[in-house]
A and B are shown apart, each in its own frame.
Chain A
Amino acid sequence: MSVLEVRDITIRFGGLTAVDGLSLAVNEWEIVGLMGPNGAGKTTAFNCITGFYKADEGQVFYRGQDVTRLAPHRKAALGIARTFQNVGMVKSETVLENLLTAQHTKSGYGPFQALTGMTAVRQREKELAAHADAILELLGLTDVRDRPLGSLSYGTLKLLELGCALANDPDLLLLDEPSSGMGPEESHELGERLLALRRELGVTMLLIEHHVPLVAAVCDYVYVLNFGRLLAEGDPDHVRNHPEVVAAYLGAEVEESA
C-alpha cells in the first residue's frame, strides 16, 4: 500500500484548470520528486494534498485512508508534515518556541487542563522542550535555540523549517522547494541530509524541486508537471532526458508525433 496516493486530482480556479487529472503515488521509504516549470501547478497540487484547497475532482489516500476532505490540521495530526516555499514559521517567536508550536498535536494535555498549570502539564512541557533540543542538535542549530526568527539567515530558516516539520514525528514529509535560495554546495548538503533523515527516522518524502542535481541525487522517482498535467514520470535519469521535459523547461517546440 502506498503511503500517499493521489487519484485524478483536478482543481479549477474559474476558467483555469490549475491541476488536471493528476495521479501519483509515494511508497514507503521513497523520496519522490515533483518537478515542473513555474506555474505548472506543483504547489497547487501540494495544497490539495494538505487540504488548503479543496480538489474539484479526485481523491487523496494516506495509507489507504481517504483523506481528501480532511482539514489541514487533522492531516498534520495523522503524521503528514509540510514546509512552505517561502518559510512557514511563526515569525514573532523564538526558534525554541517554533519547535514547541510544531509539536502541538502531541502535547498530550487539553487546552483547559493547560491553564491549571498542573504537574502533568509542566512535565509534558519539559519533554516537548527536550525533544525540541534533540531536533536542534540533529540539525546542528543548538546555538540559535533562543534567538528570534527575525535575526536568522534564510538558509538557517529553511533548515529550521525542516526541523519544525520533523518535530511532530512525521511519517510523510511534503517539502515545497527545500533548496530554494541555496547555493550548489548547500543544496548538496541538503540532499545528504534528506537521505540521512530517511535512513535514521524512516520518513517518506514528496518534494517539489527545481534543482536537477539534487533531484537526481535523492529522488527514487520523479513526476513532471506542465500546465497542470502530468508530462512524464519515471526515475530521475529517465525524466532528465525526456524530450518533452527538456522542451517544457527550455521552452522549445516539440514536434507533434501525430
Chain B
Amino acid sequence: MATGELLTPYDADAPGRRASLLGLATRGTAFLPVLALVLLLPRQSGDWTNDAIFAAIYAMVGLSMNVLVGYTGQISLGQQAFLGIGALTAANVVHTGTNAPDPFTFALGMVCAVAVSAGAAAVLGGIALRIRGLYLALVTLVFGAVTADAVFTIPSLNGNDAGVSAYRPTAIQTDYSYYIFAVAMVGVCLYVDVWIRRTKVGRGLIALRDNELVASSFGINVLGYKLLGFVLSGAMAGLAGGVFAFWSQEFSDKDFTATAGFNKALIFVVMVVVGGLGNRAGVVAAAAFFALLDPILSGIAHSTGWINYYTDHKAYISNIIGAVLLLQTLIFNPGGLGQVLRPFTRWFGGHPFSLHDEHGDAAAAALAGGSDVRA
C-alpha cells in the first residue's frame, strides 16, 4: 500500500518530463483559437485594426518594463521617454516627406530607433546605477519630463512643431498588414525575453534583484548587469517607439508631452505589476488590456448613451480602473495575471496541466517579501 506521497505535488511533473507527440498535437490545436483571435479578429474593421496595433505597441513596452522591473528589480517612471526617443529617431531617419520609404530605409529607421533608445537607456542607467528605490523613481521621472520638454521640442527634430511624417513602406501600407508586422515585432521581443530567461543574462538580473551581495559572490558584475537591464529594456521600448511612429505615420511631440508622458509612465508600471512581474504571458495580456481599455469603454459608452460623460471623464475612469486592479493585485494576487494564467501557459509549454504550482507561488512570495541576506 503506497502511503506518504501526499506532499509530492504531481508525479507526472517529474524533472525534464515533456509532453508526448499526441500531447503536442493537442496543445497545438488548443492554441489555434488563440492564434486565430490574435491574427484574424483585427481584420474585421478599421478601428479594431488600429487599436490592435496600439495593443501590440503596449505589449512591447510591457515586455521592456518586464526586463527592467520584473527581472532587474529597478523601477522606471521614464519608460515613455524611450518610446518617444524610438519614435523620434525612426521618423527622422526615414524622413521621406510624402513618399513611402523603401524597405531598406525603413529597416534602418527601426534599427536606429532601437540603438538610440538603448543608448539613452545606458545614459539613464549609468546615472541610476548607484541609487535605488524612491530616488531611482524620482530620477527616472525627471528623465521622462526633461526628455519631453527639452528633446522632443527641438524644432529640427519634430518638424518645426508640425510633426515629422513617417509613412509606411508599400509592403505593409494597409493597417492590417502593418498589424501583422507589429505582431512580428512583439514576437521578436518575446524571443529575446525567452532567451533572457533561459540563459545567464536572466539569472544574473534576477540574482542581483534578489540580493546584490549574493549576485557578486556568484561572479555577477552587478553594476554591469544593472546597466545591461536598462539597455535591453530601452532597446525594446525603442522598438515599440519605432512601431508607434509608423503606426501614427508621424512623430509629433504632442503625443509625448511631459503630462501625457507621466500618465503613460504610471500605466506602464501598473500594467507590468498587474500582469505579473517576470511573467511574459501575463505582462502581454495586461498590456493589451490597458491598451484596449479605452476603445472598449468608449464602445460601451456609445451603445449605452453615456458617451459624452465618458469623453469628459475618460482620463479618470481608466486611471481608477488601473488603481483598483493594482491594489487587487498587490493585496490578493501578488503574482499578477501571469500567476492566474500560469497553469495554462505551463501546459502550453509542455508540462502536465496542474493548478498547483509551487515555483510560481514561491517566486511571487519572494518578490513580495524581498531578501534579507547580509554579508
Contact = CB atoms under 8 A, between A and B. Distances in A.
Given A91-B210, A150-B362, A151-B362, A111 B219 contact: no
Interface string A49-91: 0101000000000000000000111001100011011111111
B203 A88 contact: no
B130 interface: no
Nearest to A88: B214
B359 A94 contact: yes
Contact of A104 (B213, B219, B232, B365): B219
Nearest to B228: A111
Interface string B185-218: 0000001101110111101101101110111111
Interface residues of A, number: 48
A73 B358 contact: no
A51 to B, nearest CB: 8
B221 interface: yes
A90 to B, nearest CB: 5
Interface stretch (A15-23, A95-103, A182-190, A203-211): A95-103
Contacts of B81: none
A164 interface: yes
B216 A71 contact: yes
Nearest to B222: A73
B162 interface: no
Contacts of A100: 200, 203
A107 interface: yes
A50 B213 CA distance: 11
A73 B216 contact: yes
Contacts of A111: 200-201, 204, 228
A41 to B, nearest CB: 14
B282 to A, nearest CB: 16
B210 A125 contact: no
Interface string A242-258: 00000000000000000
Contact of B214 (A90, A96, A105, A146): A90
A116 interface: yes
A104 B216 CA distance: 10
A216 interface: no
Contacts of B201: 111, 114-115
A124 to B, nearest CB: 9
Contact of B199 (A52, A91, A114, A146): A114
A145 interface: yes
B15 interface: yes
A93 interface: yes
B375 interface: yes
Given A104-B200, A121-B199, A145-B15, A89 B216 contact: no
B367 A92 contact: yes
A168 B218 CA distance: 8
Contacts of B373: 84, 86-89
A148 B356 CA distance: 13
Interface of B: prevailing SS: helix
A226 B268 CA distance: 53
Contacts, number: 137
Interface in A118-150: 121, 125, 145-150
A88 B365 contact: no
Nearest to B373: A88
A207 B211 CA distance: 22
B210 A81 contact: no
Nearest to B365: A150
Contacts of A73: 215-222
B203 A104 contact: yes
B374 interface: yes
A14 interface: no
A86 B361 CA distance: 23
B5 interface: no
Contacts of B228: 111
A148 B358 contact: yes
Contacts of B358: 147-148, 151
B372 interface: yes
A42 to B, nearest CB: 12
A73 B192 CA distance: 25
A101 B203 contact: yes
B220 A104 contact: yes
B217 A89 contact: no
A92 B15 contact: no
Nearest to A86: B373
A225 B217 CA distance: 24
A43 interface: yes
Given A43-B375, A90-B210, A90-B211, A72 B217 contact: yes
Given A87-B373, A151-B358, A76 B218 contact: yes
A85 B359 CA distance: 25
Contacts of A114: 195-196, 199-201
Contacts of B200: 100-101, 104, 107, 109, 111, 114
A102 B204 CA distance: 9
15 contacts: A52-B213, A73-B220, A76-B219, A92-B363, A93-B207, A93-B363, A100-B203, A102-B218, A104-B204, A114-B195, A114-B196, A117-B198, A148-B363, A150-B366, A164-B218
Given A73-B221, A91-B210, 16 more contacts: A46-B375, A84-B373, A90-B207, A90-B214, A92-B367, A93-B203, A93-B210, A100-B203, A101-B220, A104-B218, A104-B219, A114-B196, A146-B359, A147-B358, A150-B362, A168-B219
Interface of B: 15, 191-192, 194-196, 198-201, 203-204, 206-207, 209-211, 213-222, 228, 232, 358-359, 361-363, 365-367, 371-375
* 3 A-B pairs closest in CB distance: A76-B219, A148-B362, A92-B366
